[in-house]
Amino acid sequence: MSAFPNVSFLLCTALITVTLAVSGFAKAKDPSSTVTGILNLGLEKIAPLKLTARTLPWAELLLALGMLAAPGALFTVISGISLMLMLFYLIVIARALATGRTAGCNCFGSKSAAPVSRYTLIRNIALAAAAAAVFAASLGSGRALIYELYSLNAADWGWVLGAALIALTMWAVQRGEALAEPDFGESDDNHLLLPVYEDRGDGEEYVRMPIPYATLHTLDGKNFSIRELAELKARVLFFVSPTCGACLSIFDKLADWAHKLPQLELHPVFSSESNAKTASVPESITPLIDPKFAAMHAFGRGTPLAVVLGSDGLLAGGPVRGASDVSDVMDQLIEEFTGAENSDEHSEQNTVGQMP
């Protein structure tokens, strides 16, 4: 091999092959984990949820197969595509850290739901570097994994065996640590909530994500987690600012929405107490404070932004941004609740009419 020693190239090829295979199998086993990862990382605008969840696992598995056994020039193509994929993943993780979207990326299915951190970035830098080495070698005499294994001599196999033992040891340590389940006590907040797919007609599917853990407080200093608020009663949070022109129409409609939706609690959410005090909020409605909009960033950025919190711990609508979209969501809620009430009244009338 002209530019890379046999064993170095082989280990890089094996690393990318195993990574793609493990990732593909995990995503294929649990497609909802891919949806969760896309939403957590804010990629839904460039990665259609259902299409990506269905195709990405198989694309990764095909690439893994190509890294394992693709012949000749096809291996160069496969290694080039793998490099582009690893670079894309690296950019996604770097963007997530830069924008504060540190919820789990689910890069290896639901088993990898740990928050995105600098260690995730280091991992992806290493994978991108390995993929680059494989692609560079493939432009010379580099070949797929099984062909490289076949050409190893006795000394090379010694290095491969050592690397395999290191990998096996690290895997066993990680698996052993995972068996130690932390004691969370009996708190109800520690049960696992998974995304729920909800068909809303016309072929539209809404993914009900778990409500994130974040804290808001009232003007008198009482702190509440968003989940705690939702458990008490379903709510709509409006992330707004008194200096936002598009938010003015939201302030004007709050009282009317609250009157038409007594089943829900409506809360305008401000980034500071001073903003809450200067905004024209109806006295019957309780504003909440989200310092520097830290909680809002779990849903998106920009005001006005609205999200509907279900009492079952899952989002029931949104997040949506912009005065028009927020108004549309509220109109849909009014229509749904009004329709449900009319249906109940009609049912009661029929029951009374049938009584002897």
State whether the Cα torsion 27-33-38-41 is positive or negative.
negative
> Taking a C-beta distance cutoff of 8 angstroms, is the pair 307, 297 a contact?
no
Structure tokens at 271: 């980034």
Cβ count within 10 A of residue 92: 21
Distance CA 102, CA 125 (A): 17
Tell me how far apart the 2 most distant CA atoms of the chain are, in Å: 96
pTM of the model: 0.52
Q: Strand (E) positions, 90-134? A: 107-110
Question: What are the sequence ranges of the domains in the chain?
Answer: 6-178, 195-352
pLDDT tens series, the chain, 356 aa: 443 457 778 888 889 999 999 999 989 988 877 887 887 788 888 888 888 889 999 999 999 999 999 998 999 999 999 999 999 999 999 998 887 777 678 888 766 666 778 888 999 999 999 999 999 988 987 788 888 877 777 666 766 677 777 766 666 655 554 444 444 344 444 444 444 545 555 555 557 788 887 788 888 888 888 888 888 888 999 999 888 888 888 999 999 999 998 888 999 999 888 888 888 888 889 999 988 888 888 888 888 899 999 888 888 887 888 888 999 999 988 988 876 555 555 444 443 344 33
Intra-chain end-to-end CA distance of the chain, in Å: 94
Distance CA 29, CA 110 (A): 9
195-352 carries CATH number 3.40.30.10: yes
How much is the CA Rg of the chain, to the nearest whole Å?
26
Is residue 110 helix, strand or coil? Answer: strand
Structure tokens at 12: 């890089």
Cβ count within 10 A of residue 86: 24
> Taking a C-beta distance cutoff of 8 angstroms, is the pair 324, 252 a contact?
no
Is residue 349 helix, strand or coil? Answer: helix
Cβ count within 10 A of residue 265: 18
244: phi then psi, degrees, rounded to nearest 5: -95, 115
Residue whose structure tokens are 């005065």: 323
66: phi then psi, degrees, rounded to nearest 5: -65, -40
